[in-house]
């Protein structure tokens, strides 16, 4: 069985000979390099931006209720973020973010700030971002 590196080299050889096409779907980046964010991870800060005050108010209500409370504010916030992502949905969250910011390009900036990117220098490709580990990929 070939290693991942051997498979990539073989794929590159076939690509160079123009005998193969590569179709990459959503999630490929995350599988290749774990520092890429999944939808839920990517939308976390977006949800806080759009619903942060709502979440804080819900926590105040939760904490002041008659039943004993079990969640710290961080745990409650994480639970609320998950609930909002599930209830509102990915596309509706992004639409609400557009509405709040007032322009569509805001999501482009948001994604660029939250995802790593590939930088090439002299045939060496590095996945970099201020918030993530650097991976070096030699092809």
How many whole angstroms separate alpha carbon 110 and alpha carbon 28?
Answer: 20
* Residue 17 counted as domain residue: no
How many whole angstroms separate alpha carbon 55 and alpha carbon 110?
Answer: 21
Write the pLDDT tens digit of every residue in 19-50. 877 666 667 777 777 777 888 999 999 999 99
Q: Domain count for the chain, please give it.
A: 1
* Residue 14 counted as domain residue: no
* Residue 28 counted as domain residue: no
pTM above 0.85, yes or no: no
* Residue 16 counted as domain residue: no
* Residue 118 counted as domain residue: yes
Residue-range definition of the domain harbouring residue 113: 37-138
Say what angle helices 90-101 and 106-114 make with each other, to 10 degrees.
120
Helical (H) or strand (E) element with 78: helix 73-88
How high is the mean pLDDT of the chain? 84
* Residue 84 counted as domain residue: yes
């Amino acid at each position: 069985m070939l290693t991942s590196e051997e498979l990539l080299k073989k794929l590159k050889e076939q690509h160079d000979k123009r005998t193969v096409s590569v179709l990459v779907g959503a999630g490929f980046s995350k599988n290749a390099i774990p520092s890429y964010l999944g939808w839920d991870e990517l939308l976390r800060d977006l949800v806080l931006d759009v619903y942060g005050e709502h979440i804080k108010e819900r926590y105040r209500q939760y904490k002041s209720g008659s039943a004993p409370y079990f969640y710290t504010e961080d745990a409650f916030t994480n639970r609320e973020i998950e609930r909002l992502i599930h209830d509102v949905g990915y596309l509706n969250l992004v639409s609400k973010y557009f509405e709040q910011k007032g322009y569509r390009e805001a999501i482009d900036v948001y994604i660029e700030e939250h995802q790593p990117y590939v930088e090439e220098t002299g045939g060496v490709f590095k996945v970099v971002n201020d918030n993530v580990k650097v991976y070096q990929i030699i092809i």
